[in-house]
Chains A and B, each alone.
Chain A
């Protein structure tokens, strides 16, 4: 029996800043196997121009945001999230996100994101902090 696998998923989530305020019952509720996604190195995770994607949180591995005409792709690592703009605004992504290594993510489907963020306001607050930090970095 894969006794440690579930522990690892819950433990993995509990170690992320985004979920730091949640207790084990909440983490178990979030650790939905249907939300777990695994990508091989080189695989596209988010596709520019494709509607209907979700919010991805990296559990393990590394990805890169590839925007046309931008020379240096932005690196994403464990704990980073992406897809929030297209999911929250219900629009098509303007960049590709490609797995740089084997990549393990949690994908919260777009239609379920609103309910998720309302159910876990601490996660929403920490997400808002991150998005605000990204905005500040862009403006500086």
Chain B
């Protein structure tokens, strides 16, 4: 026990690595570092694990699936594709925890089930956290190490992993929006009974609010400059939230989803006035409403990190990251969790990675941990090996069922060396520096939603791209694919 009776782990001091945060990003990063034998401290301002899922989503239902029963057995790697919400673990009893806590009312978990899933992971996988310890500032010492000031004292480390979430309410710069309640300040639905509500934003949280208020409000109008991409929604799990308000909009049920550049929002006695210009359809819009809610998103609480050179994207909301989720090569400032969307990857055909969701960033964390251990601590992580006569079927099996490749399309790839050493790598980084791994296989998707395997072969400082044909059941195994892959290699 520490002096003063504080039984919490990780007192201030020197550690090779410090992880900040106890949401899914922080828990997964800590677990992955531990698996590699990297000594580290984990600190969190919260009192319990779960991060943003301790509070949100407001209407209590997540968007991403976890199927309690699926074509693959729980606890297997193949099952991960059917369970987008559990954190990854290799020990029996530590993986696939969220679906085991679901009451099966829906194929997607409730907020409470998700929070309990995170807590169960921390307990069973033995992820220790110093709760109630707030990170307050960061500096670079003369010896190059990072100094993290916290409410409990100073931590010194060679690398830090910030798993801060994208959790600070953010509002787009519309005159008058300062007074508008943010999504997080949405009142109880019965408070909106019989009222006309304008929601600024047509993304997940905007439609979540619209869906939650549909049974109560007299009318819901959503507005933002860009149109809803119906083709994307149809294929995404977000349709759970989007579908009802958008159907109401499409069928003329009173809900409107307007493509509107809002110019200003004014208070008018008990209500509000929203003034703007149509974008996809021109013309002025002038609305009198009872309530306005800013569903304009969140930003990463970066604190003073920009002073240490952390650049941002998305209007300052997200840190700009290298393909290994570091703020700049060699900086030792890494990110885990939702903020890893700051490494956008190749975005082939405009298809983005799933790094803003648990099922994407849990794989990012595993790759990041290995990279951090190798580059900052000089630890050589052990890679699997594939016998040369198994190489072709192995790569095709990966293209068919590897959850990393299916979740992070054209983002994470399975790479192998000439002598069969293999690992998962960020494709954008591998294309620039294969690091001895001569071949990479990724799963990709074109603009029409067709999925196909892509093979990249390193060649004299460059690479050759081979796109294999799609298959009706996305099964890329068998003699024809083997022949084609052998020819490419």
Instruction: Judge whether B313 and A33 touch: CB under 8 Å.
Output: yes
Q: A2-B299, A50-B346 are in contact. Are A36 and B314 (CB under 8 A)?
A: yes
Question: Does A38 count as interface, using CB distance less than 8 angstroms?
Answer: yes
Assess whether B350 is in contact with A29, with CB atoms less than 8 Å apart: no
Chain B residue nearest in CB terms to A31: B225
Decide if A84 is an interface residue (CB 8 Å cutoff): no
- Residue pair B280, A29 in contact (C-beta under 8 Å): yes
Choose among B259, B317, B463 the residue that contacts A2 (Cβ–Cβ < 8 A): B317
Does B225 lie within 8 Å of A37, measured CB to CB?
no
Segment from B124-132, B167-175, B387-395, B478-486 that makes contact with A? B167-175
Q: Is A80 an interface residue (CB 8 A)?
A: no
Residues of A within 8 A of B278 (CB): 25
- A40 contacts B by Cβ under 8 Å: yes
**Measured between alpha carbons, how far is A47 from B329 in the docked complex, in Å?**
20
- A69 in the interface (beta carbon within 8 A): no
> Is B277 part of the binding interface, using a Cβ–Cβ cutoff of 8 Å?
yes
Inter-subunit contact A4/B322 (CB<8 Å): no
B317 touches A33 (CB 8 A): yes
How many B residues are at the interface, by size bracket?
35 or more
Does A54 lie at the interface of the complex (its beta carbon under 8 Å from any beta carbon of B)? yes
9-residue interface stretch from A71-79, A108-116, A126-134? A108-116
By a CB distance below 8 angstroms, the chain A residues around B316 are 2, 5
Asked if B350 contacts A2 (CB within 8 A), the reply is no
Interface flag for A1 (CB, 8 Å): yes
Q: Which residue in A28, A29, A33, A51 is a CB contact (below 8 Å) of B467? A: A51
A1 to B463: give the CA distance in the assembly, Å.
43
A24 interface residue (CB < 8 Å to B): yes
Known: A29-B226, A34-B352. Contact between A5 and B282, CB under 8 A? Answer: no
Q: Which residues of B contact A32 (CB under 8 A)?
A: 226
Does B410 sit at the interface, judged by CB under 8 A?
yes
Q: Does A3 lie at the interface of the complex (its beta carbon under 8 Å from any beta carbon of B)? A: yes
- 1/0 per residue, CB under 8 A from A, across B453-478: the answer is 00000000011110100000000000
B261 touches A28 (CB 8 A): yes
* Residue from B226, B410, B463 within 8 A of A52 (CB atoms): B410
Q: Give the bracket for the number of chain A residues in contact with chain B.
A: 35 or more
Q: How far is the CA of A6 from the CA of B296 in the complex (A)?
A: 12
Within 8 A of B (CB), among A19-54: 23-26, 28-29, 31-34, 36-38, 40, 44, 47-54
Query: Chain B residues with Cβ under 8 A from A28's Cβ?
Result: 225, 261, 279
Once the chains bind, are A25 and B277 in contact (CB under 8 Å)?
Answer: yes
Instruction: Please determine whether A50 and B431 come into contact, CB atoms closer than 8 angstroms.
Output: yes
Q: Is B69 an interface residue (CB 8 A)?
A: no
Judge if B385 is at the interface, Cβ distance under 8 Å: no
Q: Which of A54-112 contact B (CB under 8 A)?
A: 54, 92, 102, 107, 109-112
B447 touches A51 (CB 8 A): no
Q: A28-B279, A44-B432 are in contact. Are A52 and B173 (CB under 8 A)?
A: no
> B170's contact among A1, A9, A107, A111, by CB below 8 Å, is which?
A1
Q: Of A9, A29, A37, A44, which one neighbours B315 at CB under 8 angstroms?
A: A9
Residue of A nearest to B432 (CB): A44
Q: B383 on the interface (CB 8 Å rule)?
A: no
Given A28-B225, A92-B465, A111-B447, A40-B277 contact (CB < 8 Å):
no
Given A25-B225, A33-B315, A50-B431 in contact, is the A40-B349 Cβ separation under 8 Å? no
Q: How far is the CB of B425 from chain A (nearest CB, A)?
A: 16
Interchain CA distance A7-B313 in the complex, whole Å: 14
A9 neighbours in B (Cβ, 8 Å): 315
Cα–Cα distance between A23 and B283 once the two chains are bound (Å): 12
Task: Tell yes or no: B348 within 8 A of A by CB.
Answer: yes
B444 within 8 A of A: yes
A9 to chain B, nearest CB (A): 6
- A112–B350 touching, CB < 8 Å: yes
Chain B residue nearest to A7 in the complex (CB):
B173
A103 to chain B, nearest CB (A): 11
> CA A82 – CA B344 in complex, angstroms?
19
CA distance A29 to B278 in the complex (A): 10
A25-B314 contact, Cβ under 8 Å, with A2-B170, A34-B352, A51-B467: no
- Contact status of A111 and B463, CB under 8 A, knowing A5-B316, A25-B277: no
Q: Which residues of B contact A (CB under 8 A)?
A: 170-173, 178, 225-226, 259, 261, 276-280, 282, 299, 311-317, 320, 322, 328-329, 344, 346-350, 352, 410, 431-432, 444, 446-447, 462-465, 467
Residues of A bordering B, CB below 8 Å: 1-7, 9, 23-26, 28-29, 31-34, 36-38, 40, 44, 47-54, 92, 102, 107, 109-112, 119
Besides A28-B261, A51-B348, 19 more A-B contacts (Cβ < 8 Å) are: A1-B170, A2-B316, A5-B317, A28-B225, A34-B352, A36-B313, A37-B313, A38-B312, A38-B320, A40-B328, A49-B465, A50-B346, A54-B347, A92-B465, A107-B347, A110-B350, A110-B447, A111-B349, A111-B446
